[in-house]
Amino acid sequence: MIRLLLALLLLALPARAEEVVAALSQDRVSISTNFDGSEILIYGAIKRDAPPGGPPLAVIVTVAGPEEPVVVRRKARRAGIWVNADAVRLSSAPSFYAVVSSAPLETALTRIADQRWRVSTPRMIRDVGAASVVEDAASFRNALIRIRRDEGAYVRDDAGVTLTDETLFSATVALPSALTEGNYEARIFLTRGGRVVDVFATDIFVRKVGLERFIYVLAHERPLVYGLLSLALAILAGWAAAGMFRLIR
The percentage of the chain sitting over the pLDDT mark of 90, rounded to a whole number, equals: 53
What is the overall mean pLDDT for the chain? 85
Q: Is the pLDDT of residue 135 over 60?
A: yes
Check: CB of residue 58 under 8 Å from CB of residue 101. yes
User: Hey, which bits of the chain come out as E strands?
Assistant: 18-24, 28-31, 38-48, 57-64, 67-78, 81-94, 97-101, 154-157, 161-164, 168-175, 182-192, 195-208
Rounded Cα gap, residues 120 and 208, in angstroms: 28
Query: For residue 151, with 0-12 CB atoms within 10 Å meaning exposed, 13-18 middle and 19 or more buried, which class applies?
Result: exposed
Residue 58 banded pLDDT, cuts 50, 70, 90: very high
The percentage of the chain sitting over the pLDDT mark of 70, rounded to a whole number, equals: 85
pLDDT value, residue 136: 80
Of residues 172 and 5, which shows the higher confidence score?
A: 172
Q: Is the pLDDT of residue 148 over 80?
A: yes
pLDDT value, residue 151: 93
Of residues 172 and 74, which shows the higher confidence score?
A: 172
Strand bridging mode 154-157 / 81-94: unpaired
Rounded Cα gap, residues 66 and 72, in angstroms: 18
Q: Is the pLDDT of residue 133 over 70?
A: no
pLDDT value, residue 76: 75
Residue 35 banded pLDDT, cuts 50, 70, 90: confident
Average pLDDT for 113-138 = 85
Of residues 219 and 192, which shows the higher confidence score?
A: 192
pLDDT value, residue 13: 54
184-200 per-position pLDDT tens digit: 999 999 999 999 999 99
pLDDT value, residue 221: 67
pLDDT value, residue 158: 97
